[in-house]
Structure 1
Amino acid sequence: MVHHITTQLDRSFAALSDATRRGVLEQLGRADASITELAENFHMTLTGMKKHVGVLEQAGLVTTEKVGRVRTCRLGRHRLEDTVMWIESYRQLWDARFEALDEVLEDLKRKEKADAPHE
């Protein structure tokens, strides 16, 4: 189970690491599109867009269906749940660390104020 989640995280982050692929996801969030339409919208070659779509497909973020000569892309079933949970766990960890740091700083300020000579 852990290995599957790690592999899925690796694929998701690899897919999301590219601005074009993030843009493709945004566009597919609005409407399904053919690879040709995506290539035109991103001013890319068909081959280049097929590679991007392949990475997104490997990550489960996009599915494609070929009908005749047209390959239509749509958002996949994988909705980044594992990725969001992973990020959230680290956000909570850092929030707790920053809260502890805030407490230390407040204690230092109180001690500094108490130790300051009174005029």
Structure 2
Amino acid sequence: MSTPSGFDELIHPSTRLSVVALLAATEWADFPFIRDSLSLSDSALSKQLHTLEEAGYLEIRKEGGGRKRRTKVRLTQRGRTAFEGHVAALRAIVEGAGATAGTPAAEPTAARTAPERPQHHAEAGR
């Protein structure tokens, strides 16, 4: 099966997909909100944000200074378009798998799910 159009290798890893999905639901998000929502460390989140920013998928804004410094993040239009394309590609993959579920190639898997167990003499009369 070929990869559907719109599938984005950069977004696909689960952490980046989670970041982009979270940002797709809002205009701007604060760094601590993203970090806490996804249960990531500061360094893990920073690395993912940097990768997405380099690709042009995110805009990162630092506001204030000193202890009051806040980092805010948002999806760019390019990032939103990439996310929507990736979600559409994932849906196409899932729908394609569902369409082939009734094919003979899928039947052996179903047949293996419930192996028969031998009956003991005490059970045979029940």
Deviation at 1:80, TM superposition (A): 2.6
The percent of aligned pairs where both chains have the same amino acid is 20
- Deviation string 1:39-87 (CA, Å, 9 cap, x unpaired) is 1111111111010111111111111111111110001131239xx5xxx
Extract unaligned runs of 5+ from structure 1: 1-8, 92-119
Partner of 2:109: none
Greater fraction of residues in helix: 1
Contact 2:23 2:75 (C-alpha < 8 Å) held by counterparts: yes
Partner of 1:58: 54
Partner of 1:80: 82
Match of 1:22 among 17, 26, 36: 17
> For 2:33, what is the secondary structure of its paired residue?
helix
Paired with 2:8 and 2:24, the residues of 1 have a C-alpha distance of: 18
Partner of 1:47: 43
User: Which range is displaced more, 33-42 or 12-21?
Assistant: 12-21
Displacement over 6 Å in runs of 4+ = none
Paired with 1:52 and 1:62, the residues of 2 have a C-alpha distance of: 10
TM-score (norm. length: structure 1): 0.54
- How many residue pairs match? The answer is 76
1:99-110 alignment runs, 5 A limit: none
Extract unaligned runs of 5+ from structure 2: 1-5, 93-126
Contact 2:11 2:20 (C-alpha < 8 Å) held by counterparts: no
Deviation at 1:14, TM superposition (A): 4.4
Task: Determine which structure has greater relative contact order: mean sequence separation of CA pairs < 8 Å that are 6+ residues apart, divided by chain length.
Answer: 2
Paired with 1:43 and 1:76, the residues of 2 have a C-alpha distance of: 23
2:33 maps to 1:37: yes
Paired with 2:19 and 2:34, the residues of 1 have a C-alpha distance of: 7
TM-score (norm. length: structure 2): 0.51
